[in-house]
Amino acid sequence: MTARRSRHRSAAYAALALGLAGSLALTGCNSHSSKKSKSKKSYSSSSSSSKNKKRRIIGSGAAAAGAGTAASRRVPDCFPSTYKVTFSQQSGPDSHVTVKFKNTTSRDCKLYNAPLLRFNNAKSPLPLLQGTPGHLDGTRLTVPAHGYAYAVIPTNTAATKGTEQKSVAIDFMGISASSVTHGPVTVSFAEKRLHLSVGKTKVTNWTSSIHGAQLAAGVGK
């Protein structure tokens, strides 16, 4: 073998070795790039999952808050007591008894139709002037916190004025004709030094003003 051929072969081997080295380096770079890509995808997926979880948690919290707000907006029924319900009688041609309810709480409450009043332990309550126990007109009155509601019993004739009463048992009607919310409570007129005369008469539905109740009873102007 001549020196010239030996140099030519050595150069070929060197070029082959250089090519192999470059190929290995390229393979390593591709592998490293693939690992980086997988790592980025994994991070992106984890980040997206975390955001979705946060959204679900926030959404659930908002729904719970909404349910709590709805629950807090429910208006409870009003209920009678000896200091929340008071009676007074107006004399003269438009004589009548006023039934006044005071909502002593810091929340609104609801009244339905009319108060159920049993004077002197009567078996049946005073009839309703607006409708009958079986055919109610569906009055629903929201009494604001520390607000008032009124009902009126006309006593402007001899029959409706009747005789002096000693006591009255009070129930508040519920949403249906046969239901009551709370009660009864009994008010003693003697203890309160009241002189009320009630005969064969009726009671109006609850209203938000004394004048409205008087008009409903036919004793207002």
Owner of token pair 């004793």: 219
pLDDT at 221 over 80: no
The mean pLDDT value for 105-118 works out to: 93
The mean pLDDT value for 187-191 works out to: 92
pLDDT at 189 over 90: yes
Structure tokens that stand for 153 in this block: 């019993």
> pLDDT category, 79, cuts 50, 70, 90?
confident
> Which residues have C-beta within 8 Å of that of residue 205, sequence separation ≥ 6?
113, 114, 128, 129, 130, 131, 137, 139, 151, 216
The whole-angstrom separation of Cα 197 and Cα 186 is 17
Count of beta carbons in the 10 Å neighbourhood of residue 78: 24
> pLDDT category, 136, cuts 50, 70, 90?
low
pLDDT in tens, 86-97: 999 999 899 999
pLDDT score, position 70: 47
The whole-angstrom separation of Cα 139 and Cα 113 is 5
| Whole-Å CA distances, 210 to 50, 130, 205 | 61, 16, 11
| Whole-Å CA distances, 72 to 11, 134, 157, 215 | 91, 32, 47, 35
pLDDT score, position 31: 47
> pLDDT category, 174, cuts 50, 70, 90?
confident
The whole-angstrom separation of Cα 13 and Cα 8 is 9
Asked whether the whole model's pTM tops 0.95, one would answer: no
The mean pLDDT value for 47-71 works out to: 49
pLDDT at 22 over 60: no
pLDDT at 20 over 60: no
